[in-house]
Each structure stands twice: as C-alpha cells, then as structure tokens.
Amino acid sequence: MKFKLTLLFLFCISAIASAQNTDSLMLRKIYDEALVNGQCYQNLHYLCKNIGQRLSGSANAQKAVDWSKKLMETYGFDRVFLQPVMVTHWERGEKEVGKIINGKTEIPVAIAALGGSVATPKGGLSANIIEVRSLAELKDLGERVIKGKIVFFNRPFDPRFIETGSAYGTAGDQRFAGPAAAAKFGAVGVIVRSLTEALDNYPHTGTTQYDEGGIKIPAAAISTMAANKLSNMLRLKKLPLIKFYFKQSCQSMPDAPSFNVVGEIKGSENPGRFIIVGGHLDSWDLAEGAHDDGTGVMQSVEVLRILKAVGYHPKNSIRAVLYMDEESGGKGGAEYARLAKQNNEDHIAAIETDEGGFTPRGFSFVDASPAFLKGVNQSWKKLFEPYESDRLVAGGGGSDIEHLKDTQPSVKLIGFRPDSQRYFDIHHTPNDVFENVNKRELELGSASMASLIYLIDQYGLNFK
C-alpha cells in the first residue's frame, strides 16, 4: 500500500471529531490514555522476561504474586491485597522423550506431558499404538482392542469454525477426558494430537482429568506434525510393527500455599458493590505465559490504572483480580467466589480476559436473554463502534469467574472477546512468548474493558 494523502486525511478528521457526548468523550479519554500513555506492554515485558513461566504452586508463581502486588501498590490503588489459597501443584520434571518405533528405526517426536498426568515408569513406556478419532470410537473398539496399548487420539481441529475457541471446544475432550476413558479399557498410555489447527512442531500441553479413584495412565500431547507423521505410518504399515515410546517424570505434589492478587479502587457511592476484571496469574511452564494469560492480568491492572489516570471516580468499587491456579485446578477462582460470599460483597459484574491479548472485537454475556442483548446493544453498541469493539453477544465468560455464579446469583459474567485466529497457534506451547504480543492490540483491549466498566458503573446492567 502506498501513501494516499487526501482521502485518509479527511477520514482522520472525521474520526477524531466523532466524540459527541459525555460517554463518548469519556471513552475517547480512556482510549487516548491507553494508546498514548499505556503501561500494559512494558509491564507484560517484565512479567514475561524477568519472571517468566508461572506454573501454579511454583517459586515463579510466588515471584509473580509479589511483583504484581508491588506494581499495583506503586499505582496507588486504594487497596491492594492478597487472598491466600491452597493451589494445585504439579511438576513436569525432566524434559519428555517421545519416539515412534518402526522395527529397528526410532523417530524422535515432540511431546509434552499433559498437566496433571502421572509419570511413565522410569525407563519409559513402550507399547503398540492404536489411533482413534473420538471417545465414541474408543468405546466401540472396547477393551479387546485397547488393552495394553497406547491410545493415540488424533481428531484434528475443525477449520470451519470462525472462532477458533469453538474448534478447541469440539476437539478438547480428547485431551481433557481421553486419558481417563482410555484407562477404563486397559490402555497403558495416551498420546493426544495438540489442540491447534497450526501445522508445526510444538506440543501443546494443558490439563487432563482422571476419574476420581480411577486408574491413572501417563498422557502427553504430541505436535501436529508428529501426529500426522505417526498417522501416515500407521496407515502404511501393519499395526504391530509400529510402537510408540515415551518417557516423562511429571508428578502431582500436595496442594501448595499461594495467593490471588487483588487491586481495588473504592466506590464513592457504593463501596460494597463491585465490578471486577481479571485474568489468571499462573501459566503453563513451557514458555512465558504471554497470551495465556500474561496479557489478561496486565490488562486488568491497566484498566484500573487508566480509570485512575483519567480522573474517573467510580460509584461502585472496581477490582482487578489476578487469579491463581486457573490452568491446573481453578482453585483461585473458587476461593475468590467463596470469600466474596463470606464478606457479603455484592458483585454487579465480573469480566474475564483469558483469550489472548489480540485486537478486541467485543464482549460476550453469559446467559444473556434476547431482551438483555437488545438493550445492551441499543444502549452501548454505538459507543464502541468507533473502536471496532462493538460485538456485544451471548456467550461464555471464563472459568475463573464462573464460580461467582454459585455465590453471587445476580452477578453478570462477561467474557472479553479478542480476535481468535492466532490464539491456538501459540496456546500452551513453548511459543507463548512476549514477542508474539502486539502492543496496540494489547492496549486496545485494556481500553475496551475500562470503557465497559465505566458504562456498567454509570448505568448498571439492568437491560430487560
């Protein structure tokens, strides 16, 4: 694209002149503060590069707690405090080894233990391998075929979904529930195709969940390239010739003491009523947890910084909540909800930002009725349109805030919705690093959430 002077110039003038009333002026102030004086990106840089991975229960997670508390204190929020919580503590141990064994040939492949998985025997585990596409197929094959084998779940992402979260949703049962299901039929281990559409050599980790009291078999994610190679080999060769070998030394430890970190700006009219925005401070251990969820926690802190910087005095109390243990067990989110009830805190709305720090598209409202959606769109869509963050739709909130529904029946749960196309390329991989975050995309997200909080604080969410 080359330079086109006239048209663009005219366009700019009209874009800047669009602020028409108090609300639109306040949104413009919020966006200007985020884009001109934003500190979110440099804070994320510190979190990623000076602290790095923050696996729940780890020493690094504690460093992140200490630093983010200090950060919010330097911003002079009215109150910054920790909520003690016992969290999941699982350790990966030594780097995993995975190999396809084809007779005398051994082909190394990229794998990563699933979070919560047990270890293999010390010398590793080798067995015949059976490829399945679904839990239903596993059940059809049954114990006769599965027993003694390593089950290879290889259903790819469905590329037809426009939002990649939906592809994750329909492929994810393989990782989440596959190992427990395979164990029931006598499998000795599980390999799961990485949950991504990207064709590359990164394994994508993530939790798996064993049945309470059930047999636990070791489970690992395998990169999509390696999964394709393995699948092709299985198709070409007779099954008994191909074996799979993997070795991992991960283990679950007793729950460990940790904290949610909370910053607060006190409400001038209703200090006991809360609007909160948050993400999770823990991350997977393979990289820096940049998009998952460094961006979310740094955006949440930034939302409060922005509101303070533009001189906004909220009627209700506003909180940034940095939850611990989202990836491994969700105990931070549960504890926040428990304490909210115990302390008689009345929550108006909870926003979660945990889908990456990409260009914002809008917000999704949990259990939104058609009347609610109509109301919120009629009232606020126009205000968000100049910022291209105006998709106000029904949808999910997030796993940290969903616990609030149990203790705060009237709370409105809201998901921040950034562009989803790149998220699962880097999600839970060694590639989730600061360099893959764009400064402006991150800042626009903070501004959109600060704007929504301003509007909720002013007008509430009683759209009927």
Question: Active-site residues: which are they?
Answer: 326
Binding mask 352-381 for its own copies (x = CB under 8 A): --xxx--x-x--------------------
Binds its own copies by CB under 8 A, chosen from 109, 198, 286, 453: 198
Q: What are phi and psi of 318, to 5 degrees?
A: -115, 135
Spatial distance between the Cα atoms of 421 and 389, rounded to a whole number of angstroms? 16
Residue nearer to its own copies on the CB measure, 323 or 454? 323
Stretch that binds its own copies, among 2-10, 105-113, 257-265, 312-320 (CB under 8 A): 2-10
The tokens describing 7, both together, are 């048209």
289: left (phi over 0), alpha (psi -120 to 50) or beta: left
Binding segment (CB under 8 A) for its own copies, from list 63-71, 137-145, 305-313, 391-399: 391-399
Q: If binding is defined by CB under 8 A, does position 275 make contact with its own copies?
A: no
Burial class (CB in 10 A: 0-12, 13-18, 19+), 121: exposed
The CA-CA-CA angle for residues 401, 213, 134, to 5°, reads 70
* Contacts (CB under 8 A) with its own copies, residues 288-327: 292-293, 326-327
Q: Does 4 bind its own copies (CB under 8 A)?
A: yes
Residues 28 to 57: which contact its own copies by CB under 8 A? 31-32, 35-36
Closest approach, Cβ 34 to its own copies, in A, equals: 9
Rounded CA separation 130/187 (Å): 10
175 binds its own copies (CB under 8 A): yes
Residue 59 binding its own copies, by CB under 8 A: no
- Does 422 contact its own copies by CB under 8 A? yes
In the region spanning residues 201 to 220, those forming contacts with its own copies, defined by CB under 8 A, are 206-207
**Cα 59 from Cα 282, distance rounded (Å):** 11
CA 297, chain centre distance (Å): 11
User: Which range touches its own copies (CB under 8 A), out of 69-77, 102-110, 220-228, 393-401?
Assistant: 393-401
Give the 3-state secondary structure of residue 411. Answer: coil
Cβ-in-10-Å burial (0-12, 13-18, 19+) of 10 comes to exposed
**DSSP string computed for 304-331:** HHHHHHTT---SEEEEEEEES-TTTT-H
Cα Dmax for the chain: 75
**In the complex, what is the shortest distance from the CB of residue 65 to its own copies, in angstroms, rounded to a whole number?**
20
For its own copies, the closer CB: 193 or 427: 427
Residue whose CB is less far from its own copies, 305 or 361: 361
CB 312 within 8 A of CB 291: no
Q: Which residues make Cβ contacts (< 8 Å) with residue 132, sequence separation at least 6?
A: 138, 141, 151, 152, 153, 154
Would you count residue 387 as binding its own copies (CB under 8 A)?
yes
Instruction: Give the residue with the Cβ less far from its own copies, 98 or 156.
Output: 156
Q: How many residues bind its own copies (CB under 8 A)?
A: 65
Structure tokens at 144: 């006769």
Site map (CB under 8 A) of its own copies, residues 133-172, x = contact: --------------------------xxxxxxxx-xxx-x
Q: Residue numbers of the site for its own copies (CB under 8 A)?
A: 1-5, 7-9, 11-12, 15-16, 31-32, 35-36, 159-166, 168-170, 172-173, 175-177, 197-198, 206-207, 292-293, 326-327, 330, 354-356, 359, 361, 386-388, 391, 395-396, 398-399, 419, 421-423, 425, 427, 438-441, 444
